[in-house]
Amino acid sequence: MLNLSGKFLTLEGVEGAGKSTALEFISAFLTENGIEFIKTREPGGTNLGEKVRDILLDKTNTEIHSDTELLLMFAARSQHWHELILPTLKAGKWVISDRFTDSSFAYQGGGRGLDLARIRALANWTLDKIQPDLTLLFDLDPALGLQRVNRRGDSDRFETEKIDFFTKVREVFLELAQKEPARFKVIDSAADIKHTQEQIARILRKLI
């Protein structure tokens, strides 16, 4: 058993669900409560991971095979885990990550249709079988999420996928939350920002 004195929080959801805004609110909340933390993202979080991110999000890379996409995700994630997340948790600090392994189950498993058992095997191999302490799932109708993304402009490779893709992604996220209710907390991301932040604050108060 690994000796991890820090807390590991992850944020998940379809495109346009408001994770970035929530991450800033969570950062302010933890700072106000005197909790040391780092915030990071996937794919990315390390020098190597950010380079892989550029490949994965580049919408001109239309030839990437689904298996390649999955393996690149876990290559970046393995480096992320061993270089940044694990040492931070061992040091007693919290880690807040915009996406983690659940996104691979949802996007590559649900969206791409890859075997979930293969994804689970990769996760067990590369991540010491560790799960986040808390996962906030920002749930949103994919159609609304894509509207928000389109208003931002300059979509990346994933954001250019069709609505059916994101419908499958959302279904897997909700299935994961149903299977692990102790870890997952589902946030109504269609609500206004104030209501969303109130939901997050209630959940975090129980964790600190």
Model confidence, pTM: 0.95
Q: Which amino acid is at 80?
A: H
- Per-residue DSSP letter, 135: E
Cβ atoms of 11 and 97 closer than 8 Å: yes
Q: In order of start, what are the domains of the chain with their CATH numbers? A: 8-205 (3.40.50.300)
pLDDT at residue 1, rounded to an integer: 45
Helix axes 66-80, 116-126, angle to 10 degrees: 20
Report the candidate in 110, 166, 111, 163 with the shortest Cα–Cα distance to residue 139.
166
Q: From start to end of 50-182, where are the E strands?
A: 94-98, 134-139
Which tokens in the block code for residue 15? 């495109």
pLDDT along the chain (208 residues), means of 10: 82 94 96 97 98 97 97 98 97 97 98 97 91 96 91 87 96 98 95 91 93
Which tokens in the block code for residue 35? 């909790």
Tell me how far apart the alpha carbons of residues 85 and 155 are, in angstroms, rounded to a whole number.
28
Cα angle vertex 15, ends 9, 18, to 5°?
55
Q: What is the dihedral of CA 156, 168, 63, 114, to 10 degrees?
A: 140
What is the b/e burial string over 145-182, where b = at least 16 CB atoms within 10 angstroms of the residue's CB? Answer: bbeebeeeeeeebbbebeeebbebbbebbbebbeeeee
